[in-house]
Amino acid sequence: MTVSAQFEIHYLQYLGADGTLVRNDLPEALRDPRALLPMFKQMLAVRVFDTKAVALQRTGKLGTFASCLGHEAAHVGIGAAMKSGDVFAPSYREYGAMFMRGVRPRDVLMYWGGDERGSDYDRSSDAARDFPICVPISTQCLHAAGAALSFKLRGIDQVAVSVCGDGGSSKTDFYAALNSAGAYKLPLILCVVNNGWAISVPRSAQTGAETLAQKGIAGGLFCLQVDGNDLIAVMAAMLQARERALAGDGGTVLELLTYRLSDHTTADDARRYRDEAEVKAAWQNEPMLRLRKYLTAQGVWSEEEEKNWIAECGVRVDEEVNSYLNTPVQPVEAMFDFLYADPPPDLLAQRAEAIALEQRHG
């Protein structure tokens, strides 16, 4: 038989787990190691925030929270490569990207605290046009595809970016989004953060695909597998995908290989299904460790600077936490008042019942 078509999936890595470069053709914008400092500091800030948010949940001051521990390079790399005017459609743990877009930590805390005002981002920030956190798995990919189609129809040089997990890449929403991007050559970047686990389902049981990146081949997209613990590789892949999109070459699927060092959420206990040795090994490959070694070896970062920066981050996070905790709770009728312009009679009856119930219980 003759071969109808052949495909390859390439793997991108610049910075090895030991903090040394495995290739020297660094993107021009990242050749000066000092250019990486703002992103590294953001990664540290995100980890400080993440630790504090988990503590808030454990003490009953926050609802269920999805930790991003171990994902910092993937998320910050995505956010750092995006530009003003682009649109981001996140899932529910990409805080590094969201913060770089202008979302405040207090906004994220309000969201997980059950207050939808946390999704009302600063109108002057890049996040003003971004989509809010999306918990339904991979539906945000379709939202991003719609935004990308709008950009193309209006001739606007901007891209839409969405993120899902390895489990999310098995959803029909993900496939519909990439198929649309391929059919219409949309400026869409779909990032699959492959952290090895879809809650308790391991990657090995999730799909028969050799890589998750190759799922985009069926839709006609450019596909690349990336070391998601390597900030340089993530940024390089994102910048390349954005350039391709703006040049009219269509969308991209990026598989970012990383590991979820935490439980899936604070409602999960990963010890029930993950081997302790696996997690211990992953800590030796985590993103902060390698980038710290690289920047220190290049003479642009030190242990003292990190200590001072973490202390500063702690103060900033405490300010955000206090803002969240001191925000007056909305009256119970708010959940009804902002749902419909003209509420139906049954909803008005529910509203009155809720108000009466709240007054009865103080």
Catalytic residues: 260, 264, 273
Q: Strand (E) positions, 60-140?
A: 87-89
Give whole-number Cα distances, 210 to 184, 190, 204, 223, 335, in Å: 27, 18, 10, 13, 45
278 φ, ψ (degrees, to nearest 5):
-65, -45
Token pair belonging to 302: 């030190």
Q: Which amino acid is residue 209, in one-letter code?
A: A
Q: Which amino acid is residue 207, in one-letter code?
A: T
- Give CA angle at 91 (50, 258), nearest 5°: 65
DSSP-based three-state secondary structure for 1: coil
Q: Strand (E) positions, 168-265?
A: 188-194, 197-198, 201-202, 222-227, 252-257
CA 39 vs. chain centroid, Å, equals 15
Cβ-contact 14, 25 below 8 angstroms: no
Single out the residue of 191, 183, 134 nearest to residue 159, CA to CA: 191
What is the phi-psi region of residue 228: left when phi exceeds 0, alpha when psi lies from -120 to 50, beta otherwise? alpha
Q: Quick count: other Cβ atoms within 10 Å of Cβ 52?
A: 19
What's the CA gap between 362 and 358, in Å, rounded?
Answer: 6
Cβ-contact 306, 37 below 8 angstroms: no
What's the CA gap between 36 and 29, in Å, rounded?
Answer: 9
Q: Quick count: other Cβ atoms within 10 Å of Cβ 10?
A: 9
What's the CA gap between 121 and 103, in Å, rounded?
Answer: 6
89 φ, ψ (degrees, to nearest 5):
-120, 95
DSSP-based three-state secondary structure for 31: coil
